[in-house]
């Protein structure tokens, strides 16, 4: 008996995207400490690889680096913020590759959630002003 990998349908990809967005909208430090977070990142890596698009290679590399970093225990906020910021930018750009409009919207939402989470990781002061954000991004 041979076991062939059955391709995921859009519903499965959308569920994974929704899960990732939910994780990013919660307290990332708390989410990262949960056992299931590693699985979320792994599913995300597999979903991006399944697209088989060389344009998405950097997303896979950054997700793998993020996963490895979270498995390390201590979080380097600057590194995680940089990875998540680049992931957010690249994820927003990747939305054009989604054939299903519902999936494309979720990819866009994920990119926005990554950028928001990146800012929170780099600047844990949630109540910062735009002036503080500028000061912190230039430092």
* Of 76, 37, 75, 81, residue with least CA distance to 62: 81
pLDDT of 100: 87
Quick check: pTM over 0.85? no
Q: Spell out the residues 6+ positions from residue 62 whose beta carbon is closer than 8 angstroms to its own.
A: 83, 86, 87, 90
pLDDT of 8: 59
pLDDT of 120: 86
pLDDT of 1: 44
Domain boundaries, the chain: 57-123
pLDDT of 2: 47
The structure tokens listed for 17 are 């995207």
Low-confidence ranges of the chain (pLDDT < 50): 1-6, 138-139
pLDDT of 134: 55
CA angle 40, 19, 64 (to 5 degrees): 30
């Amino acid at each position: 008996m041979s076991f062939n990998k059955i391709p995921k349908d859009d519903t499965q990809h959308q569920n994974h995207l929704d899960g990732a967005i939910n994780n990013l909208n919660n307290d990332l430090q708390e989410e990262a400490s949960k056992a299931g977070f590693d699985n979320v990142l792994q599913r995300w890596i597999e979903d991006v690889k399944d697209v088989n698009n060389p344009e998405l290679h950097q997303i896979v590399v950054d997700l793998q680096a993020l996963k490895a970093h979270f498995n390390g225990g201590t979080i380097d906020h600057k590194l995680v913020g940089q990875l998540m910021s680049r992931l957010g930018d690249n994820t927003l750009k990747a939305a054009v590759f989604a054939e299903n409009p519902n999936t494309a919207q979720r990819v866009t939402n994920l990119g926005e959630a990554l950028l928001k989470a990146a800012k929170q990781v780099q600047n844990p002061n949630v109540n910062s002003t735009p002036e503080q954000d500028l000061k912190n991004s230039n430092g």
